[in-house]
Amino acid sequence: MTDKRLRVGALAPALIMAVLSAGLLLAGCAGSSDRTETATGTAAETQSSEADGAGETEEPAREEAAADAGAGTSEAENSEDGPLHPVIKSRTESEYDEDGSLLCSVSWQEPGIRDEGHEELRAALEAYAASRAESAAAAHDELLLAAEEGKAVMEEGAFYGYTSDSSIEFLRADDKVLSFSDTTYSFTGGAHGNGGSEQRVYDVRTGEELGLSDVVADKAALEAFVVDYLEENYGSEDMLLEGWEDAVAAAFSEGLKHSFGLTPEGIRISFDPYEIGPWALGTVTVDVPYTAEGIGFNADFMPAGEQTVWSI
């Protein structure tokens, strides 16, 4: 499966892919701009500001229910054998017209870890951010151009700016696996915006990104589980698009590239709006427990030890 792309009506295909995939580190462009940076992790809250007005904050977002939030980090937490402490860095860049009205605003997040060591994993996460930066500069220029063109044909006061917001959610972080989803929602006019997500799974010990064949022994059994689940929960109510079974089969034939993540409970498989269902259905998610029969999850990546990510 190729990387998932947004279906944004006013934007070119190259922009569509970049906006969804981007970590969105942006090149400068005409007009005034405001930039904000925020880092979120398991560290105690700290703040700093820079002379150019860009701020950076580090605070708990997926925390370990620590009553002593101000306590120092122990040696175990920073060791290669200790639990991971994932960090999310948030950035926003906005562009304004000469009259002060918003042209476009882009927000994105970058995943990381605050632990010492884990150099291979750290390098992999930095490479993820770099790959997003490479395509994001061109995407930002095209988004700004589309906004300027869109405003020119709109009645005065009717243009509210184009936006793209990307957010990271850590699904699992322990001594074996780091997994997260990256979800983007963009609005460029019309009845509603468009969105999509992609997932990443990394071997904490090697920093390598894991594919489906690394995680399960019988992909056919996993596909059958997913089809049965969708049929039972959506198909009986005719909530899925015609030919959804073919779309699922195509996804599995490509190894669910960037469509699955790992949680503490099992493998999470997601389908974007319009992929197997209409926009109104939203993202369709199937959670397959590690205990599911016949699938054969790789014991090397079964969860063990302390987790540092929970839903809040």
Q: How confident is the model at residue 24 (pLDDT cuts 50, 70, 90)?
A: very low
pLDDT at 47: 26
Of 29, 111, 44, 105, whose CA–CA distance to 74 is shortest?
44
Mean pLDDT for the stretch of residues 75-85? 58
Decide if 58 contacts 42 (C-beta within 8 A). Answer: no
pLDDT at 27: 35
Mean pLDDT for the stretch of residues 56-70? 37
In eight-state DSSP terms, residue 9 is: T
d(CA 197, CA 258): 8
| Mean pLDDT, all residues of the chain | 76
Interval 265-292: pLDDT, tens: 999 999 999 999 999 899 999 999 999 9
**Residue at 229: amino acid letter:** Y
Helix (H) or strand (E) holding 40: strand 32-41
Higher pLDDT, 152 or 297: 297
Beta strand 266-271 with 284-289 is antiparallel
In eight-state DSSP terms, residue 236 is: G
pLDDT at 75: 42
pLDDT at 120: 96
Beta strand 55-60 with 86-96 is unpaired
Interval 128-182: pLDDT, tens: 988 877 777 677 787 899 999 989 888 877 888 898 888 999 999 999 999 999 9
Mean pLDDT for the stretch of residues 68-81? 42
Which range has the top average pLDDT, 7-21, 48-62, 155-169, 251-265? 251-265
Among the residue ranges 31-35, 137-141, 199-203, the one predicted with the least confidence is: 31-35
Mean pLDDT for the stretch of residues 189-216? 92
DSSP letters spanning 107-165: EEEEEEE-SS--HHHHHHHHHHHHHHHHHHHHHHHHHHHHHHHHHHTSPTT----EEEE
Is the pLDDT at 185 greater than 60, yes or no? yes
pLDDT at 116: 86
d(CA 109, CA 90): 4
pLDDT at 41: 52
